[in-house]
Chain A
Amino acid sequence: MTSPPHSPRRRSFLQAAGVGVGALLAGAGLAGRAGAAGGAPRLREDPYRLGVASGEPAADGAVLWTRLAPDPLAGDGHGGMPRAGYDVGWQVAEDERFRRVVRAGSAVALPELGHSVHPQVRGLRPGRQYFYRFRTQGHTSPVGRFRTAPDPRSARGSFRFATASCQAWYHGYFSAYRDLAAQDPDVVFFLGDYIYEYGITAANMWRSAPLPGARHEIETNTLADYRVRYALFKSDPDLQAVHAAAPWILTPDDHEVQNDYSDEKSYYGLSEEDFLLRRAVAYRAFYENCPLPALALAHGPDARLHRRLRYGPASLHVLDARQYRDPKPADAAEQHAPGRTMLGAEQERWLYHGLRTSDARWNLLLQQVGLVRVTENRVDQWDGYPAARQRLLDVLGEPGVPPAVVFTGDCHRSIAGDLLADFADPGSPVVGSEFLGTSIASDGDGAPTDNYTKDWMQHPWMRFYDGRRGYVLGHADADAVTAEYRAVPYVRADNRAAGFTLDRFLVAHDRPGMQKVS
């Protein structure tokens, strides 16, 4: 990766923070067994209360994750763990009872990383289901399972997936996740806002449950604050169940750090220098709490979060639309400036190269904010970056580029629309389709229509809108990508709401644009 240009302030931060991460990679199993447990105090309580997870599925492996935390909400952010390193053994088996263990190893849970581990498993077979578990000091974790990606050499590979985003724990229960787990997808794409930074008070606690307490009333700021916030959100059993049931591919949006931020800029009164400190601890906590590859471990305030994965017939382009974007525009001239960027120059080049050279049947873009044109005032979305959007649409429309389907989070609505070569010309060719997923819980129960319906649905390229909570359930093979909008009728009152299908759409490989599936 080519590092983005660093401002003097960022350079001074890096000098202060150091950039070496080798010592921390023991948790990824890359540094070998460190023998850390020798003098570690005994763990008397179950340390696996935050569950287990897998991520970054490849045809030959995945990343496993857990974080030792016998007291997950301990105020210091260390989950009730003594300040010592712990060896954590892991096993991967072909059966749920672990009679056929095919891979095993050990990683070191360090206090520096909140006692999280991210072992990278290799050498597995494609398109197969595996089971995994962790052990430390006689404590055994719950069993998780994951399926490796289909063999990319197989032309007929297919997979089932789900997209999810925006899980404001305090706005409601995660019953949508319970429905998602029951669908047993091969992989989950998480598209941002895993946590929210806001203080949790009576004003925003819509989940019918007691307030979590004074420790959670303030906006997250310190590393301890972020660690505790992840622990709170991850305490939800339905979230833990989905993590244990399928591998996740995650990208953050803004609320993993602070609402609406752009690169080094906070819109809430923090100087750039202070905001970079905050970004550093926020990115660290994101890594600590998610099944991410070692590459995603931040160097100070910088983390390599955009990446590409091959998954059966699809090339998955995971984007980072926060870390390199230009600030919100001051006026229309700035908004429409030709050099304006959402992804930054390096990520743009990387994306266009990957789109153009992909040998997959599909380009699936996994990203944060709405790409489709809506209104001029939605400057946090791609509407605020029209020149950058046009550059991307131009590439998607080039001959020979595999068809593109974009999956998006952020908007708290289920919305579908086609991407035109030129949104100023409604008759221009369709160069892709976008499925924007609603939130798991953010904004509470929601309703089929709301104050934003008209903004989105005024355009001829839009196909669908619903304002309730839920997720997207999809299927991809060589010939088609389908997207089914699932919803739950409510989230605030309890976690028992049953999921149902709102609508289904299909994008055929040989025909641009989405079609409604009856």
Chain B
Amino acid sequence: MTAPTANSAAGRPGSGAAPGAVSGLAAAGGLGVVELTWQPYKTRGAQLVDHYEVYELTAAGDTLLARTLFPHHTHRVGPEPLTRRYTVVAVVDSGARTRPARAAAGTSERSLAAGRPVARVGEFDHRGLEFALSPNLSAQYPAAFPQDVDFRHGTSDPARDWCYLHPGPGDAWAGRKEHTFTLRFDLPAAPERDLGFALWLIDSHATAAGTAELALNGRVVKTLEFRGGATRGSLEGDAARSGSVLKPSSYELPLAADLFTAGENVLTLRKTGGSWIAYDALGVFAAE
């Protein structure tokens, strides 16, 4: 199927456009996202909305971002803050298309991950495909990682040494126990200023995302409470793909400078409650 543009009319003979346009389009920037919302298109009689087409408007032209059934869309973007413009077209059951909605603009927030990486695992791109056992081999975790994940920044390989899924004590397939993922990294000297921790997930269990304890060099920093996902991230790894049902989430917080030490530093995530989380990326960053 040829991707339409926001202004293309229904391209088949005998067609006419659906009346009106989507109204109330709004764009709100968040961490790694721009949240788009609009009023449901008012259909007539038994007519149904087949889907909405969401476009990003750029100087180079319209880019079709997604087809969605719902009157909202999350545009997943990178860690850097950027302003983007959007429009939306409704397509009804007959194939007829409305005019584009009045454009809206939104600016994504700056993520800590936009800073200078001190230690990073994976790319902050809403995909977990670069990790071991991705996208659907979590059943092999007990055999592949009998001592859990122990990853050394600079020498370990995400494709081999960091599992895409972090099981929790609610997961029978992983022994119904706490699992700890460890990230080791070296610093030539203790930092003078606080650093930042960023953790992005592509998905989590819908009803039992649970908790994890974040610790640095043996000192507990925070217990992270994860938001419910879509329970599909154990089987697929790309939340940026149009039509993905995955529900990513992100968690960022400062790490006090006095937590760090010259030489080896050890960051741990211990899954203390609930079921699994599925990684997009994580790391420690310095403000630039």
Contacts and interface: CB of A to CB of B under 8 A. Distances in A.
A87 B177 CA distance: 64
Nearest to A223: B50
Interface in A270-298: 274, 277-278, 280-281, 284, 297
B236 interface: yes
Contact of A269 (B242, B243, B245): B245
Interface string B50-79: 110000000000000001111000000000
Interface in A21-37: 21-24
B245 A223 contact: no
B50 A41 contact: no
Contacts of A74: 1
Judged by DSSP, the binding face of A is loop
Given A75-B1, A82-B14, A269 B231 contact: yes
B43 A17 contact: yes
B69 A83 contact: no
A267 B206 contact: yes
B93 A20 contact: no
A1 interface: no
Contacts of B146: none
Given A269-B206, A274-B70, A76 B46 contact: no
Interface stretch (A145-153, A214-222, A231-239): A214-222
B245 A78 contact: no
B46 A23 contact: yes
Contacts of B51: 221-224
Contacts of B230: 268-269
B69 to A, nearest CB: 5
B95 A78 contact: yes
Contact of B243 (A17, A83, A221, A284): A221
B45 interface: yes
B229 interface: yes
Contacts of B13: 41, 82, 84
B228 A222 contact: no
Nearest to A197: B245
A330 B12 CA distance: 50
A267 B230 CA distance: 8
B contact residues, range: 35 or more
Interface in B20-57: 40, 42-51
B96 A281 contact: no
Judged by DSSP, the binding face of B is loop
A114 B50 CA distance: 11
Contacts of B244: 218
Interface string A95-130: 000000000000000111110000000000000000
A18 B44 contact: yes
Contacts of A84: 13-14
A203 interface: yes
B48 to A, nearest CB: 6
Contact of B46 (A83, A215, A225, A299): A299
A contact residues, range: 35 or more
Interface string B247-272: 10000000000000000000000000
A16 B22 CA distance: 13
A19 interface: yes
A288 to B, nearest CB: 9
Contacts of B241: 218
Given A18-B46, A74-B1, A267-B207, A203 B136 contact: yes
A512 interface: no
Nearest to B16: A83
A18 B42 CA distance: 9
A59 to B, nearest CB: 31
A261 B284 CA distance: 40
B93 A16 contact: no
A110 B284 CA distance: 57
Contacts of B96: 83
B140 interface: no
A281 B50 contact: yes
Nearest to B41: A16
Given A83-B96, A111-B94, A284 B245 contact: no
Contact of A18 (B43, B231, B247): B43
A77 B95 CA distance: 9
A111 B15 CA distance: 11
A182 interface: no
Most chain-A CB neighbours within 10 Å: which of B70, B207, B230, B247? B70
Given A74-B1, A83-B15, A284-B93, A223 B48 contact: yes
Nearest to B95: A83
B119 interface: no
Contacts of B135: 203
A40 interface: yes
Contacts of B42: 16
B242 A268 contact: no
A40 B235 CA distance: 45
A277 B70 contact: yes
B105 interface: no
Given A82-B13, A269-B229, 6 more contacts: A17-B47, A18-B43, A20-B46, A222-B51, A223-B48, A274-B69
Interface of A: 16-24, 39-41, 74-78, 82-84, 110-114, 199, 201, 203, 215, 218-219, 221-225, 267-269, 274, 277-278, 280-281, 284, 297, 299
7 contacts: A76-B95, A83-B10, A84-B13, A221-B69, A223-B48, A267-B231, A269-B231
Interface of B: 1, 10, 12-15, 40, 42-51, 67-70, 91-96, 135-136, 206-207, 228-232, 235-236, 241-245, 247
The 10 A-B residue pairs whose C-beta atoms are closest, nearest first, are: A75-B1, A218-B243, A222-B51, A269-B230, A223-B50, A111-B94, A20-B45, A21-B46, A84-B14, A83-B15
